[in-house]
Structure 1
Amino acid sequence: MKKKIYISSSLNTYPWKGRFDKEWIKYRIDIFMKYTLKSLKAQINQDFTATYMYHEKTEDIVKEYLDKYDKLPYNIRFIRKTDYKSDIEKEIQGYDYLYLARLDTDDMYHKTYTQQLHEYNPKQNTIVLVNQEGYLYDSNAERLGKYHHPSPPFFTLIYKVEDYLAGNRYKLINGHPGAIKLPHEVIKKRNFLWHVHSKNTADALAKFKPIKEKDIITDSSEVKKILSEFMGDIVYK
């Protein structure tokens, strides 16, 4: 059984909250390079593809800022939204299963996550793997807390390649909260790092409120150790 691990999300496929603005794109690409890219490059199993979609209207801006950084690895790229369908269909040729994982341009997975997916043997009727345990990382205040969410945006959909190519798609009602409503299995490992920063602070900082005091990690050496499990060669203030 051959699996294709395909990680994907959007940079700015819709002009929501100024995402077509040059300043927003510049900032978000910088965040991606400092955090998400490090997590992808730190994966101990590099047998995966990761793509991030942008709206074709912003292609010149996206390419301008990407060109300011080193060339991305062969398996990580930014693509036009209109090219996504053909890209994923090309990538899954010759495979039996597609493991379609979600990871936004500012968040991170544990460096063993792609290896976990390659090794995972789901039950016959399972169509989504849900990561409920992770961390919330506030890079503004340098806070890190253990975090549980019943259905966060850190999930992996499982398709038979033949079904995906035939047009079969799962429906997630109300976005990521709908993942848990599908036939699923929960991965117990603390696999995700949900990143709080200056462009998403209002929403994400509120998530710190229900975290129990005992679950907030204040020791700087412990914070660095945990971050290294997600970023490898970390950037830390």
Structure 2
Amino acid sequence: MKEKKIVIASAFNTFNFRDYRFSKDWIDSRIKIFMNYTLRSLKNQTNQDFLAFLLYDPTTENMICDALSRYEQLPQNIQFINHKLFNSTMKETIKDYKYLYLVRVDCDDMYHVSYIQQLHDFQHKEETKAIINQKGYLYDSVGKRIANYFFESPPFYTLIYKSEEYMKGVRYKLPGGHAGAIQLPHEIIDKKNFIFHIHSSNTLNKFNQRFNTGGLIIDVNKINEILENYIGKVDQKNDI
């Protein structure tokens, strides 16, 4: 039996917030952001031994497929799937592995290009159920600024399951949502491993609310140097 399988799971439009996630405009816009940022982060991972699943609501499948058809075909290890098929797909994916490393990321955020390699190299303690990344960057792609970011339990974590238990339905409860991950037996990776991406119409308020550690950078060249560690080569003339 192999040691670990790394799976990235991201809710594309299955979260229960507002119905705008079912609209063509929202889907088209979000997929564009995914392509420009999250996909590039995934494709530039130095170790491609992982699977990434973007989960969508089945009622929007035609719009998802239409939007994706305008871009280069996705790599085989990065897939948009009907969220109702996720559990059965996972069982098939992890059945030959001792451990599942279930990585969480939103479909507009980014991990350091070495993150998957870090997880492959990681030797977790027997009791560990979560790997937490507390350090990263806050990036405003509208205002073109970036800043250091620290949060005790941000939505950038990896849950560790014994595959056999996961297939039997074991799931960890996170009190209060993502912030509850730190209440699990956990270990922390002390590296700047993520970019929290802010891009919406209320970017200014969101950035100012979260900006908490200083180190604001507005120099475009320096911003691009940082971005390259998360999405690969950045064209100096681009609009990222």
Instruction: Tell me if TM exceeds 0.5.
Output: yes
Q: Give the drift of 1:105.
A: 0.6
Task: State how far apart, in whole Å, the 1-side matches of 2:90 and 2:36 are.
Answer: 26
Task: State how far apart, in whole Å, the 2-side matches of 1:81 and 1:168 are.
Answer: 18
**Structure 1's 200 and 33: CA in aligned 2 closer, same or farther, altered over 3 A?**
farther
Which segments of structure 1 move beyond 4 Å, counting only runs of 4 or more?
none
Deviations 1:68-109 (A, max 9, x none): 111100000100010110111111121111000001110000
Match of 2:123 in 1: 121
Deviations 1:21-79 (A, max 9, x none): 11111100000000000000000000000001010011111111011111100000100
Deviations 1:200-230 (A, max 9, x none): 6366323344342xx1123322211110000
| Residues 105-114 or 221-230, more deviating | 221-230
1:223 aligns with 2:223: yes
Instruction: Output the aligned Cα RMSD.
Output: 1.5
Task: State how far apart, in whole Å, the 2-side matches of 1:47 and 1:80 are.
Answer: 22
| C-alpha contact 1:132 1:152 (8 A) present in aligned 2 | yes
Match of 1:102 in 2: 104
| C-alpha contact 1:14 1:55 (8 A) present in aligned 2 | no
Gaps of 5+ in 1: none
| C-alpha contact 1:38 1:234 (8 A) present in aligned 2 | no
Deviations 1:168-189 (A, max 9, x none): 1110111100001110111101
TM-score, normalised via structure 2 length = 0.93
Task: State how far apart, in whole Å, the 2-side matches of 1:82 and 1:203 are.
Answer: 35
Local SS of the residue matching 1:216? coil
Match of 2:8 in 1: 7
The residue correspondences of 1:133-152 to structure 2 (distance < 5 A) are: 133-152=135-154
| Residues 128-137 or 83-92, more deviating | 83-92
**Structure 1's 155 and 203: CA in aligned 2 closer, same or farther, altered over 3 A?**
farther
**Structure 1's 202 and 87: CA in aligned 2 closer, same or farther, altered over 3 A?**
farther
Task: State how far apart, in whole Å, the 1-side matches of 2:183 and 2:210 are.
Answer: 25
| C-alpha contact 2:138 2:211 (8 A) present in aligned 1 | no
